[in-house]
Amino acid sequence: MLDLYTPGSSFLHRLPPAPKMLAMMLGATLLFINQSLPVTIAATLVIFALYPVAQLTLKQAFAQIRPLLIIFVLFFVVQWYFSGLELAAYVVLRLAALILLASLVTLTTRSSDMIDTMTHGLSYLKPIGVNPEKVSLAISLALRFIPVLAQITREVREAQKTRGLERSVIAVAMPMAIRAIKMADDISDAIDSRGYRS
Amino acid sequence: MIKLHDVSVSFGERTVLNSLSLDLTERRIAIIGANGSGKSTFARLLNGLALPTSGEVLVHGLNTRKKGRDVRRKVGFVFQNPDNQIVMPVVEEDLAFGMKNLGFSKDDIATKTDEVLARYNMSDLREHPAHLLSGGQKQLLAISGVLVMAPDIVVMDEPTTLLDLRNKRRIARAVAALDQMVITVTHDLDLITDYDRVIAIDEGRIFADGTPPDVIPAYEKLMS
């Protein structure tokens, strides 16, 4: 969701976020209710097939699950050992299908549209004290600053590496925390400066 | 016009700015000073991000203490590090952020976004993730995010400090082309040679105030 959105004009791109998000929730629920390996295989293949429909490549599809391959292997081995090959394949495929499905939605939906939809959905919770705008801003800020914090982590690690301290948790965590707090102050001022009414 | 009347700012025991009284009317004004001289605090006073411990700051007659939100609508602020100013994940979303807060219509937001992106040759970056922009592009986005809100005055806090020479020149050209009154806090003396007025601050007081040829040599002498 950080920078996943890929501009396009496919049917899935043009579909409003709400039905896509609802379909994703429904699909995820069905994947978990379903206990059959053949159905899970079929569902995974269908989701894969939706990538070209959305003008996305299969390479992009694989890129979504590649970071989790180690976890998949770990799950597979543990499940195989305790419950057998079929259940192991079922568990891993179900997880992969779920990630592919969620990624398909984020690849074809702008984060702003998704956040607007969530904000609209949350507006029904106003009577019980939920402030949809605040929730929406919090999600946007999280999306925006995760890569910035990752960059800060890299910079601090590199700086500490030159001093032979890259393995020291405190040597990395302390400068990061200080920079993050300073950054939070500046961001708060920037939001104020741009007319945000809390 | 911005008026500072006997303004002091203190943080605990430390006095950062001491009894400043100024009228800021020129189209291009630079604030220079050493690190810790109080110039960033000075800049933050101008749109109400910081409030004076004593005295008052008036922007078009509005007191920053009482009318902070109205003042911020008139005075846009560009921060030193654009990474801390860009609050939305995608370029066009960030440009829309300030306009949405001010209640602009969807059509106005789209039109102004188009205009400002075209102005800085960034139209192809409309849907680009903000964190993948170059330093110069980020600073231009930060400036654009302020300009789309149509402020009367733009305050910039060291806008070129983190940039390379090419991007510094790019930002300098962008600033020079602005119609608004611009107040720039900077260490970059090359940036301000054609400004109308330069105010040098040292240890919380005005050390020199005048045109660049008058103030910059005096400031360089002080720094040496």
pLDDT digits (tens, 9 = 90+) for A83-106: 999 999 999 999 999 999 999 998
Residue partners of B217: CB distance under 8 A and separation at least 6: none
Nearest to B18 by CA among B47, B51, B50, B53: B53
Q: What residue ranges define each of the domains in chain B, with the CATH number in brackets? A: 26-37+72-223 (3.40.50.300)
Residue A116 lies in a domain: no
Indicate whether A96 and A147 sit together in one domain. Answer: no
| Neighboring chain B residues of A144 at a CB cutoff of 8 Å | 86-89, 130-131
Indicate whether A88 and A159 sit together in one domain. Answer: no
Indicate whether A176 and A94 sit together in one domain. Answer: no
Give the burial string for B91-114 (b: 16+ CB within 10 Å, else e).
bbbbbbbbbbbbebeeeebeebbe
Residue A136 lies in a domain: yes
Indicate whether A31 and A90 sit together in one domain. Answer: yes
CA gap A157, A166 in Å, rounded: 6
Tell me the mean pLDDT in the region A6-26.
92
Above 60 in pLDDT, residue A2? no
Indicate whether A30 and A85 sit together in one domain. Answer: yes
Last residue of a domain, one of A74, A109, A144: A109
Above 60 in pLDDT, residue A3? no
CA gap A72, A66 in Å, rounded: 10
Q: What is the pTM of this model?
A: 0.78
Tell me the mean pLDDT in the region A173-195.
90
Indicate whether A31 and A96 sit together in one domain. Answer: yes
Residue A118 lies in a domain: no
Residues in chain B, pLDDT under 50 = none
Answer whether A25's CB lies under 8 Å from A114's CB: no
Residue A110 has what pLDDT?
Answer: 83
Indicate whether A16 and A98 sit together in one domain. Answer: yes
Last residue of a domain, one of A109, A133, A149: A109
Is the minimum CB–CB distance between A198 and chain B shorter than 8 Å?
no
pLDDT above 90 covers what percent of chain A? 51
| A40 compared with A114, residue with greater pLDDT | A40
Is the minimum CB–CB distance between A158 and chain B shorter than 8 Å?
no
Best of A139, A144, A191, A194 to disrupt the B interface (most B CBs within 10 Å) is A194
Closest residue to B86, CB basis, from A144, A193, A197: A144
pLDDT tens-place string over residues A100-136: 999 999 899 987 788 888 888 889 999 998 888 888 8
pLDDT tens-place string over residues A140-153: 888 888 888 888 88
Alpha-carbon radius of gyration of chain B? 17
A16 lies in which domain range?
11-109
Indicate whether A61 and A149 sit together in one domain. Answer: no
Last residue of a domain, one of A67, A86, A109: A109
Nearest to A116 by CA among B88, B84, B69, B124: B88
Mean pLDDT, all residues of chain A: 89
In total, how many domains does chain A have?
Answer: 2
**pLDDT grade for A198, boundaries at 50, 70 and 90:** low
CA neighbours closer than 13 Å in the CB half-sphere of residue A32: 7
